Structure 1
Amino acid sequence: MPLRLAPSFREQLAGADRALIGIWACSGSPLVTEVAAGSGLDWLLIDMEHSANTLDSTLVQLQVVAAYPITPVVRVPANDAVAIKQVLDLGAQNIIVPMVSSADEARAAVAATRYPPEGVRGVGSALARSARWNRVDGYLGDAAAHTSLTVQIETAAGVAAAAEIATVDGVDAVFVGPSDLSASMGLLGQQTHPDVLAAVDTVFRAVTAAGKPVGVNAFDPAAADAYIAGGADFVAVGADVALLARASEALAARFIPASEGGARASY
């Protein structure tokens, strides 16, 4: 019996009447990811760039998330055609490519998601979960309709090229990473520095003018609110490991006397 795939992140963004709110899954634990998947949030980012996630753990997380009404997005470790091919073949319909700083890099990411002649994605649908082992009718011809590509701007060069990046055909959305952006600007760790905020606003304006959705990472609630008010179409507002870290620290602060000298985070 032919199978149908879930709507892509591109389709979810197009149909939204508010900013879509997401969470990062960095622990590599399918159980933790399943807990987050049932949270009621709109989208979940399985991160392979800054976490312990592997192809195996990403596959299992995609499988457990499929049972919940949340849209999974996978951030690949790099703008690499092999990595992108493997993650797509796992059945990831929505990917984020980090560190895209030029239109040429954006075009390379698009090519990696498309089968020839439009791109360079290797053909293995009969062997892969992406087409449910050829149980999705017409997958090879319709693959681009089932997938979405978000590119991440995280450098000063990317900010300067934001308008060109956003107009690349096949780029469905742009995601801004203030952490690496602040480092690129010589303001390491200062994600809310006025110059960084101005750079994010520059990207917002350029991407919106190109008619594409724009999102941002903002774990600080006040910053997230400001970005939403500023026109963000999607925002990542937390991460599984960060939530556990802060909540466990709060328990320690509540129940263990400070005089005993336990570890206390200042951030």
Structure 2
Amino acid sequence: MTTDMNGFAGRLKRRENGGMISGWVGIPDPMLVNHLAQEGFDTIVLDMQHGMWDMTSAASGIAHVRLAGKPAIARIPVGDFAAASRLLDAGASAIIAPMINSADDARALVKATKYPPLGERSWGPSLALNHFGLPAEDYLQTANSLTVTIAMVETRTALDAIDEILAVDGIDGIFVGPSDLSIALSNGARLAPDSAAIDQALATALARCRAHGKVICAFGGDGARAGEYLKLGLDLVIAGTETAQLRAGARTAIQAARKIADS
């Protein structure tokens, strides 16, 4: 059985509908994920790097995203490649790995996220078999193409090594982290994710991804910035965090109530 959510990798690589827009959730509440997944997001990222998800709650969150008919993505903590394998076993369609600064880092990531001959992912996808609706042998033969391995480029070192990272077989694309990258490019002087320097770095990264035939994703602080990224040609963008969206919605409701009450 191949459903639309199971075709995530192909749709991402074909840049269907002008690119994908993803939600981003750090609060470890699967019900919150379920609510966001009912909206028009193409997918939802569970952030385990700076968010509070553990493996049990993340597995439940993945299930809730898929219950809504969407593929789930997980961002692992820095260097926690073992978690990447377990999240794929839980049914994640993609893994985002932060701080991939070299080809060696990229190869270590691939070892954990791809089965042989690309990697050394250990067998045990019990929940993934349920979610993808595939017999074990079919999943083994298709998992490397069904799932997406994404390396984060967010340092000057990673930018300098971008061609070497993209050349690693099994790396499906990169994810640009504008906040950390802006800190790195300014040598710690400022946090400027919407600066001209980031725009230039994104344009360079996009060109290199296209040259290697790989996808490029990035974090947008809000919908407007995400739209700029899509217009530039990125394949998947984040339209802000759930906490920012929650607080913005609350402010809008409060302001509307006060405006009417005071009129």
Alpha-carbon deviation of 1:176? 0.7
1:1-267 aligned at under 5 Å gives the runs 6-15=5-14, 16-116=16-116, 118-125=118-125, 128-132=126-130, 136-138=135-137, 139-186=139-186, 187-253=189-255
Q: Which moved more, 1:87-96 or 1:109-118?
A: 109-118
How many percent of aligned residue pairs carry the same amino acid? 30
With over 3 angstroms needed to count, the CA separation of the structure-2 counterparts of 1:117 and 1:173, relative to structure 1, is: closer
Alpha-carbon deviation of 1:251? 4.1
Alpha-carbon deviation of 1:135? 6.0
2:163 touches 2:208 (CA, 8 Å); kept in 1? yes
What value does the CA root-mean-square deviation take over the aligned residues?
2.3
Alpha-carbon deviation of 1:253? 4.9
Alpha-carbon deviation of 1:73? 0.8
Alpha-carbon deviation of 1:123? 2.3
Instruction: Give 1:260's aligned residue.
Output: none
Alpha-carbon deviation of 1:202? 1.5
- SS of 1:66's equivalent in the other structure is helix
Alpha-carbon deviation of 1:256? 6.5
- SS of 1:52's equivalent in the other structure is coil
Alpha-carbon deviation of 1:170? 0.8
CA–CA separation in structure 2 for the residues paired with 1:164 and 1:8: 28
For 1:219, the aligned partner's letter is G
CA–CA separation in structure 1 for the residues paired with 2:255 and 2:2: 49
CA–CA separation in structure 1 for the residues paired with 2:57 and 2:206: 33
CA–CA separation in structure 1 for the residues paired with 2:176 and 2:109: 16
Alpha-carbon deviation of 1:116? 4.4
1:81 touches 1:121 (CA, 8 Å); kept in 2? no
1:83-108 Cα distance to aligned partner (Å, 9 max, x none): 11221222223111111111221111
CA–CA separation in structure 2 for the residues paired with 1:120 and 1:137: 17
For 1:19, the aligned partner's letter is G
Q: Where does structure 2 lack aligned partners over 5 or more consecutive residues? A: none
For 1:111, the aligned partner's letter is K
With over 3 angstroms needed to count, the CA separation of the structure-2 counterparts of 1:179 and 1:255, relative to structure 1, is: same
With over 3 angstroms needed to count, the CA separation of the structure-2 counterparts of 1:204 and 1:55, relative to structure 1, is: same
For 1:173, the aligned partner's letter is G
Q: Where does structure 1 lack aligned partners over 5 or more consecutive residues? A: 258-267
Alpha-carbon deviation of 1:118? 3.8
1:54-87 Cα distance to aligned partner (Å, 9 max, x none): 1111111111111223221111112333211221
- SS of 2:233's equivalent in the other structure is coil
- SS of 1:216's equivalent in the other structure is strand
For 2:96, the aligned partner's letter is I
User: As a proportion of its length, which structure holds more helix?
Assistant: 2
1:8 touches 1:93 (CA, 8 Å); kept in 2? no
2:78 touches 2:99 (CA, 8 Å); kept in 1? yes
With over 3 angstroms needed to count, the CA separation of the structure-2 counterparts of 1:251 and 1:135, relative to structure 1, is: closer
1:166-206 Cα distance to aligned partner (Å, 9 max, x none): 22211112111101111112253211122222122211111
2:178 touches 2:198 (CA, 8 Å); kept in 1? yes
> How many residues are matched?
253
TM-score by length of 1: 0.85
With over 3 angstroms needed to count, the CA separation of the structure-2 counterparts of 1:167 and 1:246, relative to structure 1, is: same
- SS of 2:244's equivalent in the other structure is helix
TM-score by length of 2: 0.87
